[in-house]
Structure 1
Amino acid sequence: MMARTIATLGVLASLSACATLSRPPVGNADVPQPAKSVDLDRYFGRWYELYRYDASFQKGCEAVTADYSAGKGDTIQVLNRCRRGAVDGPLKTAKGRAKVVDRETGAKLKVSFFGPFYGAYWVLDRADDYRWSIVGEPSGRYLWVLAREPNPSADVKTMLRKRVEALGYDWSLVRETKQ
């Protein structure tokens, strides 16, 4: 019994070390609270990823989209798509679900693509007309900048960069997504 316990602890320690080593760097040590409330009915629909902090689960992804829609009960259905290696590469999809954590603002959610495991999803800022949004989470390791169109104007992209930096994110860690 003692040998089994020691072996289990060894495996857990190894997995913990691997998880720590594969985590992306902190790009914002002081993630702000969301700036605005979110009307989920207006947030639903297709979003195109413009920029992100690269994460292992998105390595090599281009032409990234996220579709949000009402699910059963209080859940939200999430469908993420990307093309591997190039905008015309093989399609990869991930289906998930989300739930609102902060009912007062609707800006803090938890999203799951793997069974009972949920990650924070905070809509940190958004356009008044829901044409763009900036999404992060409390650790400052993840960032996504989304828009309703795949290739917004250079002025919009410049404004989004300035807003991301004003929120405290390190732009040198940002990766532009090809659409």
Structure 2
Amino acid sequence: MKVISVNLGEKKSINYKGKIIETGIFKYPVQFPIFLGEEDVEKDAVIDRRYHGGVDKAVYAYSENHYEYWKPLYPNLDWKYGMFGENLTISNLEETKIHIGDTFKLGEVILEVTKPREPCMKLGLRFGTQKVLKQFWNSTKSGIYFKVLQTGNVCIGDELVLIKKNEISPTIAVVYETKKS
């Protein structure tokens, strides 16, 4: 598993059904290392801290491989990494094989898997339709939130290396399936 893209976003205001919604979901690739802090990614917009950021959701990662599933469903979008609001786009990141509590080394950082992402209406804003939420829920392609145990920089090309497996905990995909019920 390798970092394909590091992504940051700025606060953006969107008019949705006559109401102004502020969001940080519009993330785009940057060509410099990003700093993963204890509660968020430095220089990345986190708007609603009830649902994003914080110790257990400091960093959001999404699999590069999942993009091939979504592109045919939304062929008219301008596909760039960061489309799902992820800070890290990682090759071969697989929710069915990664367990809650697994610990990884990534660049200068130590990360611990905490939970899957639950989609909200802001993902629909990014995709231009709220129908993406049901499609997202009906897949196992949730992406992964991490806790940062050791802060530091991450850059394109860094390897996500497993340093501790927690097989007694469920996988991200199993937890995500449970939340749908």
TM-score, scaled to structure 1: 0.30
After TM superposition, the score normalised by the length of structure 2 is 0.30
Which structure has the greater CA radius of gyration?
1
Bigger helix fraction: 1
